[in-house]
Structure 1
Amino acid sequence: MIELKNITKTYGKGKNLSPALSGIDLKIEKGEIFGVIGHSGAGKSTLIRCINLLERPTSGEVWIDGVDMTKLNKARLQVRRRKIGMIFQHFNLLSSATVYENIAFPLRLVKTPERKIKEKVKELLALVGLENHANKYPAQLSGGQKQRVGIARSLASDPDVLLCDEATSALDPQTTNSILKLLVDINERFNLTIILITHEMHVIQSICDKVAVIHRGGIVEQGPVTDVFLKPQHEVTRDFILNESNNAELLNTSWTAPNVPNSLTVKVSFLGDKTYQSILSQTVRHTGVDFAILQGTISTLKNVPYGQLIVRFEGTEGDIKRTLDGLTAEGLDVEVIN
């Protein structure tokens, strides 16, 4: 669906040359919600603007539906961009236009018949829950309502791709959750590919299927959210999780427990249906070791449940090894802490 090949972007010339992106390779499948997370200045917004060529890459290729966008002339690029919607952190609404007129704006640009505009705007107002706000102006709306208008406007041209540039950063937590639920609904209803730029790990955790972590203009880690979140490999990824996740203690592998003779402390991770199964108790029943749960949590990554436990096993070295082998054989991830 979308593939970025060795994308670089630099600004300035000579001694003032400033690299913004370096060697970006990403592949995003149709219907995915793909998150890109990074700190301020990491290159997130530049990356997303390179996808629709609002920023033209210095080098590299941007493929969407089998077409290299970087090779299109201005007229053909304009046509392709109509199938790429975009929503922004600060909404970018026309302040002197009503909600209705804001949503209708992209349709009027391509001279859509007024009857079809009316039908489409009515449909989109219902989709985003603003049926009773058509004649209001942006100044009369809350932040969440403004973003809903922005989402409706971005969908007016029936896009295949929706780019979200820090779409929830200006919103309070409750409103953020409602917008994220709306994006998931849109994704599922229209099989719309969504690329979501954020610096908030809980946004990635809530709705994304896959994630790429960007740092200093390069991708340092990417993959399914479950893999990246539960087993982060890069320091920047760990920093996001440790500082923004409720599971900071569990994800911290430097965690220490009181020293108990003939014991081993491990982190056990469960994923999917195994989260609710009695695998731990069944395993120790067969191996005969004692155990103490020192910490634990159950949560979800998008719609996938996961659990993590810090467990101290007590017994002989052989019995503890058989216990860990048994847990691993059942599909659990086991990491020795001390």
Structure 2
Amino acid sequence: MIELVGLTKTYGRRGKTTTALSELDLSIQKGEIFGVIGHSGAGKSTLIRCINLLERPTAGEVWVDGVNLTELGKSELQQQRRKIGMIFQHFNLLSSATVYDNVAFPLKLVNTPKDAIDRKVKEMLALVGLEQHSSKYPAQLSGGQKQRVGIARALASDPSVLLCDEATSALDPQTTDSILKLLLDINEKYNLTIVLITHEMHVIQNICDRVAVIHQGGIVEQGPVTEVFLKPQHAITRDFVSRDREGGLALEEMVLANAGTELGTGVSSKLVKVSFLGNKTYEAILSRAVRKTGVDFAILQGTISTIKQVPYGQLTVRFEGDVQAIEQTLSELAAEGLDMEVLR
């Protein structure tokens, strides 16, 4: 659906050149919600604006639905952009226009018949739950309602792609959750491809199918959210994942620092991070394994949550006992399909 090939974007000013994106390759499938996460200045906003050529790449190609946008002339590009909706962090609504007219705006630009505009605007306002607010102005709306107007406007032209540029970072947590649920519903209803950039891992965790981590203008890690979230490989990814959890890095460091204990003669210990996914999260797998092997254990840290409605759990466990019995315990857990990382 979306292919970025060798994407490079540089800015030059006063004899200095800044590279925002460097030979970046990315593939996004039709109908998926794809997240791009990175710190401020990593290049994620430049990346998403290159997809619809609001920022023209210095080099590389941008393919959307089989069309190379970088080869198009101005009029052809305008036609292709109608297939790409976009919502923004600060809403970008017309302050002097009503909710109705904000949603109708892109349709009026292409001379859509008035009756067709009316049908589409009413359909979109019903979709985002703002039917009763059509005559209000943006100043009369909450932040969440403004973003819903932005979503309705972006969808009015029946796009095949929706770009979300930090769409929830200006909202409170409760409103963020409602907007994310709305995007998820829209994705499922219309099979709409959504590209979402953010600096918040919980946004990725809640609705995305796959994620790419961007750092210094390049992709340092990407894959299914469950895999990246539970088994982060790059230091930047591990930082995002740990900070998203309560206590973050400080808690993990404290656990590791205090994981040791005075054990009796002949008693060994091993510190292991155990990850559960799906229904196994709720099963007594750990309890069954240690009963079978006779190993003692202590849970030093634990998380149970969901990744796009899929339950997962992660426990930091210290196993104590005979060396062979500990190894047998880990084998029992592995046989049950659990993922383990030996920390110490």
- TM-score, structure 2 as length reference: 0.94
Identity of aligned residues (%): 72
Which residue identity does 2:11 align to in structure 1? Y
1:197 is the counterpart of 2:213: no
**Which one-letter code corresponds to 1:110 in the other structure?**
V
Look up the equivalent residue of 1:258 and give its one-letter code.
Answer: G
Deviation of the 1:289 alpha carbon: 1.7
Other-structure match for 2:139: 139
Q: Could you tell me whether the CA contact under 8 Å between 1:250 and 1:309 is conserved in 2? A: no
Shift of 1:14: 8.3
| 2:327 corresponds to | 321
Q: What residue in structure 2 maps to residue 25 of structure 1?
A: 25
Residue 94 of structure 1 is matched in structure 2 by: 94
Structure 2 residue aligned with 1:258: 260
Tell me how far apart the structure 1 counterparts of residues 192 and 181 of structure 2 sit (CA, whole Å). 14
For the residue of structure 2 that corresponds to 1:17, the secondary structure is strand
CA contact (8 A) 1:21 1:47 kept: yes
Which residue of the partner structure matches residue 299 of structure 1? Answer: 305
C-alpha distance in structure 1 between counterparts of 2:33 and 2:251, whole Å: 24
Cα separation, 2, equivalents of 1:90 and 1:335:
41
Give unmatched runs, 5+ long, in structure 1.
none
Q: Which amino acid counterpart does residue 103 of structure 1 have in structure 2?
A: V
- SS at the partner of 2:91? coil
Q: Following superposition of structure 1 onto structure 2, how do residues 172-187 of structure 1 map, counting pairs within 5 Å? A: 172-187=172-187
Q: How big is the shift at 1:221?
A: 1.0
Equivalent in the alignment of 1:206: 206
2:291 to 274, 279, 285: 285
Residues 269-278 or 242-251, more deviating: 242-251
1:90 to partner: Cα distance? 0.7
Structure 1 residue 13: deviation in Å? 6.3
* TM-align CA RMSD: 1.6
Cα displacement string for residues 36-67 of structure 1 (whole angstroms, at most 9, x for unaligned residues): 11111111111000000111111111111111
Aligned length: 338
Residue 137 (structure 1) shift: 0.6
1:255 is paired with a residue whose SS is helix
- Which whole-Å CA distance do the structure 1 matches of 2:212 and 2:56 have between them? 21
CA distance in 2, matches of 1:204, 1:67: 28
Q: Deviations over 1:246-265 (max 9, x none)?
A: 37369947724132432212
Q: Does the aligned pair in 2 maintain the 1:124–1:152 contact within 8 Å?
A: yes
Which residue identity lines up with residue 84 of structure 1 in the other structure?
A: I
Distance in 1, matches of 2:45 and 2:153, equals: 20
Runs of 5+ in structure 2 lacking a partner?
none
Please state whether the residue corresponding to 2:180 is helix, strand or coil. Answer: helix
TM-score, normalization by structure 1: 0.96
1:36–1:44: 8 Å Cα contact kept in structure 2?
yes
Instruction: Report the alpha carbon displacement of residue 323 of structure 1 after superposing the two structures with TM.
Output: 0.9
Supply the AA of the counterpart residue of 1:326. E
Match of 1:69 in 2: 69
Rounded to whole Å, the distance in 2 between the matches of 1:188 and 1:52 is 23
User: What is the distance in 2 between the residues matched to 1:275 and 1:72?
Assistant: 50
Q: Which residue of 2 aligns with 1:80?
A: 80
Given residue 167 of structure 1, which amino acid in structure 2 is its aligned partner? A
Say which of 278, 283, 303 aligns to 1:272: 278
CA contact (8 A) 2:243 2:249 kept: no
DSSP 3-state at the match of 1:273 = helix
- Shift in Å at residue 242 of structure 1? 2.1
